[in-house]
Amino acid sequence: MSSELCRVNNLTRVFNKGARDVVVLNGLNFSINEGETFCVVGESGCGKSTTGRILAGLLQPTAGDVWFRGVNLAERSKKQVKAFRKEVQMIHQDPYASLNPTRRIFDILSYPLLRHRRGMDYGELLESVSDLLTKVGLTPVEDFLDKYPHQLSGGQRQRVSIARALTVDPKFIVVDEATSMIDTSLKISLLDTLTKLQTELGVTYFFITHDLALAKHFAWNGRIAVMYLGEIVELASAQHLIQAPQHPYTKALLSALPEADPQVTRTKKRFELTGHEIPSLDNLPTGCKFHPRCPWNVKGLCGVNAPSLQSFNGSCSVACHVVHGESHKN
Amino acid sequence: MQTSVAKQERPLRLRVSNLSITYKTHRGILHAVRNASFEAWEKESLVFIGESGCGKTTLCTSLVGMQPVNATPIGGTVKYFGEDREYSILEMSDKQLAKIRWKDIAMMFQASQNAFNPVILMKEHFIDTAQSHLVGQSRKAILDKSRKLLELVRLDADRVLNSYPHELSGGMKQRALLALSFLLDPKVIIFDEPTTALDVLTQRYIIDILRDLRDKFSFCMLFITHDLSVAAELADTVVTMYAGQIVEKAPVGEIFSNPKHPYTAGLIQAVPTLSSTHEDLKSIPGSTPDLVDMAAGCQFAPRCKFATALCLKEEPQLVEVGPNHVTACHHHEYIPPIVKKG
């Protein structure tokens, strides 16, 4: 077993919305090993990006702590902060908002190099930047160096974001829906580039997506966590989660996903939910947050007690009363 | 063969012949759509697939005369066959077009959740739309119909009609827009990526609703997507576009098992699926060609492993390779069928 890189204990984040508090993350616990791919899936608003931002050190948790290489993020020295920023990078979701519109692509990619590796001359910089652009498929490089972000398409900007995250040879990358605007074929080749970095340099990924098929492809040897309204409802190895999902929400997600094969996708067995609208974070259901939509809902139990994430059969962790057989005890 | 027999019995709705559209750019003329021809019949769903910039949106917006201002159709015809007469879309004035838009041909644009006016109630959208086409309908009659449609897309009709757009979630807005597009019983509906940017469960919900609606009403659906799994769900016929050209067109079952264009085959092999146990996804090497400074020969040749000297010299034309199956490839006989994974 490889060593632990990152651990979160009871991670909670509350945002203020006017006078009210909105709980976006509610007591997450998990750890990520060095060289692992840890994938998070879930619908919008489930807190997956917030978790990613906290792990990347861009947002402070309201309660609970994050440990990186045995150091609590809240108690770092100035030197440790700088080392952390070199080791940990984030690829943001929205490439329209995350690239400075007044800088050229060359500037965007060379600033982090100058910040973390002082004393590079122009020739070295140009060479490094060109390498990065080639890596993410923005060729011919000369066409892109002097462009501004507004001259690029969504997919091209996402590739610049990916290249920017790779500038400082990070060891841990938070990838937030980084390929959502890129065409399938290129998407696969970019993910392969990321996977190659992992095998060669042992990079660890925290991969955020809403596409389970993509999660399966990218995290084939890693783990997938399914989040629902700020909580992890199921956590298992990618292969196990896809082949033998336990939580009703995971089952629903997997069965709802269309597949690129007309025969398979039109005869696919559905796991029907009883409700279609995701509850608002302002007004969360009591007990298990999934119970208003859950076909397994047990009256007097699921709406009252919140299930905790517990190991099931030793192969995965699930937060569900019914899976753990607690419903029969009542 | 069955589909081809069934097709003849249904009325033809659209016929596009040799349509070419160019954009004026500062670098020169960009050939966005070249020589596109296809037909669409009542109750048929035609799904256009291809990477960004392949011309699928330009092609479909030109069917309602809504292409961007710098786009010029330079040749070809677009014929729409209404109940009583036929229309040549490209020769119609804006005023004439305004009459058939939404009433005969409706179009839902990309990111169309933002299409609603934020300062008026949802019900005013429905009333406005109906009254601009059908003079003299009472508000009550329109609202009654709107309510029925909103229930069809499984929304709480009264709540939606009395809300402002910002009070609805993205998925709800998308469904409300779907209801709105059916308000005037159009014969052709064009959807441009209606399910992207939606969550898995919402996307599934919209796909199911679309399929329901298609069984209930007899419209013809043109659907643009880059997501092959959505195509597999909804299409009767799949049209692959590459570099502004239609390179393959076939019934959905055929194209996913036996594609006859290397680009279609490449796309299918690049999509991750859940059903397979282990997989080796292949991306298509290279990048899309420049549509301003176009090379001779087949546009896909530089990325194609089947390419020969012939491909670099001579552009292939669409040829029939099976029932309702056409492809533009010199070497289509060498392309192996897709091996079912898992």
Tell me what ipTM this predicted complex has. 0.83
Instruction: Provide, as residue numbers in chain A, all residues whose Cβ is less than 8 Å from the Cβ of B284.
Output: 185
Nearest CA in chain B to A217: B272
Q: State the Cα angle at A46 between A43 and A52, rounded to 5°.
A: 105
Residues of chain B below pLDDT 70: 1-8, 112, 197, 276-279, 340-342
CA pair distance B218, B207, nearest whole angstrom? 17
What lies within 8 Å, CB to CB, of B197 at 6+ separation is B111, B170
Please spell the DSSP secondary structure of B67-96, one letter per residue.
--TTEEEEEEEEEEE-SS-EEEGGG--HHH
The reply to whether B271 touches chain A by the CB within 8 Å rule is yes
Helices A248-256 and B200-216 pack at an angle, to 10 degrees, of 50
What lies within 8 Å, CB to CB, of A129 at 6+ separation is A106, A109, A110, A113, A141, A145
Instruction: Provide, as residue numbers in chain B, all residues whose Cβ is less than 8 Å from the Cβ of A253.
Output: 200-201
Instruction: Provide, as residue numbers in chain B, all residues whose Cβ is less than 8 Å from the Cβ of A266.
Output: 232-233
CB atoms A259 and B275 under 8 Å: yes
User: Which residue spans of chain B are classified as CATH 3.40.50.300?
Assistant: 10-235
Residue A205 has pLDDT above 50, yes or no: yes
Residue of A261, A295, A258 lying closest to A276 (CA atoms): A295
Distance from CA of A72 to the nearest CA of B (A): 34
State the residue for tokens 């490839």.
B329
User: Phi and psi at residue B146, in whole multiples of 5°?
Assistant: -60, -40
Residues A249-273: what's their mean pLDDT? Answer: 90
Residue A1 has pLDDT above 70, yes or no: no
Q: Residue B2: what pLDDT?
A: 42
What is the band of A328 on the pLDDT scale with cuts at 50, 70, 90? low
How many Cβ pairs within 8 Å bridge chains A and B?
121
Pairing, β A204-209 against β B220-224: unpaired
Q: What is the H or E stretch that residue B161 is in?
A: helix B157-161
Residue A187 has pLDDT above 50, yes or no: yes
CB atoms B268 and A137 under 8 Å: no
Instruction: Provide, as residue numbers in chain B, all residues whose Cβ is less than 8 Å from the Cβ of A155.
Output: 52
Q: Residue A244: what pLDDT?
A: 92
Ordered domains of chain A (ranges, CATH): 4-99+171-243 (3.40.50.300), 244-330 (no CATH)
Q: Residue B267: what pLDDT?
A: 92
Which one of B274, B279, B288, B291 would you mutate to disrupt binding with A, by most A Cβ within 10 Å of its Cβ? B274
Q: Residue B17: what pLDDT?
A: 95
Q: Residue B341: what pLDDT?
A: 54
Q: Which residues of A193-218 are buried (b: 16+ CB within 10 A; e: fewer)?
A: ebbebbeeeebbbbbbbbbbbbbbbb
How would you class A118 by CB atoms within 10 Å of its CB: exposed for 0-12, middle for 13-18, buried for 19 or more? exposed
Q: What percentage of chain A carries pLDDT values higher than 90?
A: 57
pLDDT digits (tens, 9 = 90+) for B247-276: 999 999 999 999 999 999 999 988 888 876
Topology adopted by domain B10-235: Rossmann fold (3.40.50)
* Token duo for residue B28: 């020169």
Q: Are A217 and A191 in contact (CB under 8 A)?
A: yes
Nearest CA in chain B to A177: B197
Distance from CA of A199 to the nearest CA of B (A): 17
CA pair distance A273, A270, nearest whole angstrom? 9
Q: Residue B4: what pLDDT?
A: 46
CB atoms A212 and B284 under 8 Å: no
What count of other Cβ atoms lies within 10 Å of the Cβ of residue B102? 20
Q: Residue B3: what pLDDT?
A: 47
Residue of B51, B57, B9, B11 lying closest to B36 (CA atoms): B57
What lies within 8 Å, CB to CB, of A82 at 6+ separation is none
* Token duo for residue A48: 């997956």
The reply to whether B287 touches chain A by the CB within 8 Å rule is yes
Nearest CA in chain A to B284: A185
Q: Residue B291: what pLDDT?
A: 87
CB atoms B203 and A264 under 8 Å: no
